[in-house]
A and B are shown apart, each in its own frame.
Chain A
Amino acid sequence: MNFDLAAFRAEFAFFRQQPDWVYLDNAATMHKPAAVVTAELEFYQGYNANVHRGAHQLSQQATQKFEQARDTVASYLNATAREEVIWCSGATAALNQLAFGLVGTVLQAGDRVLISALEHHANIVPWQFHCQQHGILLDIIPLDANHQLDQAEYQRLLALKPKVVSLAQVSNVLGHIQPVAVMVQQAKAMGALTIIDGAQGIVLQQPDVQQLDCDFYVFSGHKIYGPTGIGVLYGKSDKLTLLRPLLYGGEMIQQVSFAGTTLNQLPYRLEAGTPNIAGAVGLAAALRWLAQWDQVAIAAHKQQLLQQLYQGLQQFPAIELLSQSQPNAGIVAFNVQGEHHSDVAALLDQQQIAVRAGTHCAMPLFAAIGKAGAVRMSLAAYNTPQDIDRTLVAISQVLEVFHG
Chain B
Amino acid sequence: MSDLSLLITETALGLQQISQQQRPLLLQTSDWQSKYRTLMQLGKAVPAFTAELQRDEILIAGCESKAWLLHEFHGATGRHYWAFDSEARIIKGLVLLTLSQLNGLTKAELAKIDVARLVAVPGVQQNLSPSRQNGLHAVLKKLQQQIA
Contact = CB atoms under 8 A, between A and B. Distances in A.
Contacts of A347: 36, 90
B144 interface: no
Contact of A343 (B32, B40, B127, B131): B40
B132 A401 contact: no
Nearest to A340: B88
Contact of A349 (B87, B88, B129): B129
B90 to A, nearest CB: 5
A397 interface: yes
B59 to A, nearest CB: 14
Contacts of B135: 342
A358 B89 contact: no
Nearest to B124: A350
Interface residues of B, number: 18
B37 A345 contact: no
A5 B30 CA distance: 38
Interface in A344-391: 345-347, 349-350, 357-358, 372
Given A349-B127, A401-B40, A339 B33 contact: no
B87 A357 contact: no
Contact of A358 (B32, B36, B37, B131): B131
B37 A350 contact: no
Interface string A315-334: 00000000000000000000
A378 B144 CA distance: 38
Interface in B83-139: 87-91, 127-129, 131-132, 135
A378 B94 CA distance: 29
Interface string B35-63: 01100100000000000000000000000
A404 interface: yes
A238 interface: no
A400 interface: yes
Given A340-B88, A346-B90, A404 B33 contact: yes
B88 A350 contact: no
A350 B91 CA distance: 14
B87 A340 contact: yes
Nearest to A359: B64
A239 B131 CA distance: 40
Interface size class of A (residues with CB under 8 A): 10 to 19
B64 A342 contact: yes
A343 B88 contact: yes
A340 B32 contact: no
A340 B65 contact: yes
A61 to B, nearest CB: 39
Contacts of B65: 340, 342
B127 A358 contact: no
B132 A346 contact: yes
Contacts of A372: 87
A358 B40 contact: no
A337 to B, nearest CB: 14
A401 B36 contact: yes
Contacts of B91: 342
Nearest to A350: B127
Contacts of B37: 401, 404
A400 B37 CA distance: 9
A127 B87 CA distance: 32
A339 B40 CA distance: 11
B33 A346 contact: no
12 contacts: A339-B89, A340-B65, A342-B129, A342-B131, A342-B132, A345-B132, A346-B90, A347-B90, A357-B129, A357-B131, A358-B131, A400-B33
Interface of A: 339-340, 342-343, 345-347, 349-350, 357-358, 372, 397, 400-402, 404
User: What 9 A-B pairs have minimum CB-CB distances, sorted nearest first?
Assistant: A340-B88, A349-B129, A342-B64, A342-B88, A342-B65, A350-B127, A343-B88, A401-B36, A340-B87
